[in-house]
Structure formats: structure tokens, C-alpha cells
Amino acid sequence: MPTITVTTTNEFTMPEYGAYLDISQLVDYVKRSGSHFFDKDTMRFFRSRVDDYVFSGPDGWYFVTSEKHESAFARINEPRAYTVRRLSWTDDHSDLRLYELFGFQAFPTLNRARTAARRAAKVGVGLCVDCRLHLTYSDTCHECQARRDRKAS
């Protein structure tokens, strides 16, 4: 089992990739790493929800979050959309990372997002060669490809 040592000198042991994690364990590991991603205030601000399913993969744990963009002041009330995410550790085991797969709010339904997360966990994914921020099945993530398309036109 890898030992994660974060810059806050908080040290804890993570299970090997492929091991089962439930969503509460995943949230606990992320919080221990010093991230505020799952803090109540953060979740409330983005109107975020976390799906209960976690899919173990050869390169991390995949799960789905949803966010709803709404503002009474700006008269915005967009439908809830879903994002597939992967939790994995850095190569040097110095920290945990949360990545977006397919882009932020890429899925209109929970079932489509779960299907994508399940598939990604089976085959694994890699970082975009351009931005090194987003996970993708191909060499380039959707955001970098869209940027290329805009430049070409």
C-alpha cells in the first residue's frame, strides 16, 4: 500500500489501485490530503452532489459529481449536469489528485455519467498531452481539441 505524504506533513496509507473504496472512504482520503473539494461550504456554493457509486480502476477510483448553476440575482437556472472524476495519487506519492474526465459537466444524465465512469475504470485513461490537466481516452481532452478547432477556423 502506498503511503501518501502531503505537504501539510499529514501522512496516511492508501489502498492499492483496484481495491474497493466506498464514497465515504474516498471523501475521507481527499479531506485528509488537505483538499477542500468535499467541504460542506464548497459543495453548497457549487450546489454539488456526489453519487454513491465508486468504480475501482487500474489507475485510480472513478466517481460522478453533479453541479447545478443557478442564481436568483442573475436569473440563471441551468439544469443539473454531471462530471466524471478520477482520484489517484501523484507519481511520487506526495499527494492525491482529482481529475475531470471528459470535461466539466459533460453529461446531461447520471446514468450516462455512471456508464462513462464504469468504462473508464475498466480501461484506464491518461492525461491530455496538451494541458496535462484533464483525463481522456485519446491524446487530447475535449477542451484542448475545442481550442484547436477554434484556432483552425
Higher-confidence position of 127 and 97: 97
pLDDT in tens, 84-94: 999 988 777 77
Amino acid type, 59? D
CA gap 76, 68 in Å, rounded: 10
54, containing H or E segment: strand 49-57
Lowest-confidence segment of 6-15, 39-48, 140-149 by average pLDDT: 6-15
* C-alpha count within 13 angstroms, C-beta hemisphere, residue 149: 7
Band of pLDDT at residue 153, cut at 50, 70 and 90? confident
pTM recorded for the entire structure: 0.78
pLDDT in tens, 15-59: 888 899 999 999 999 998 888 999 999 999 889 999 999 999 988
Contact (CB, 8 A) for 108 and 79 = yes
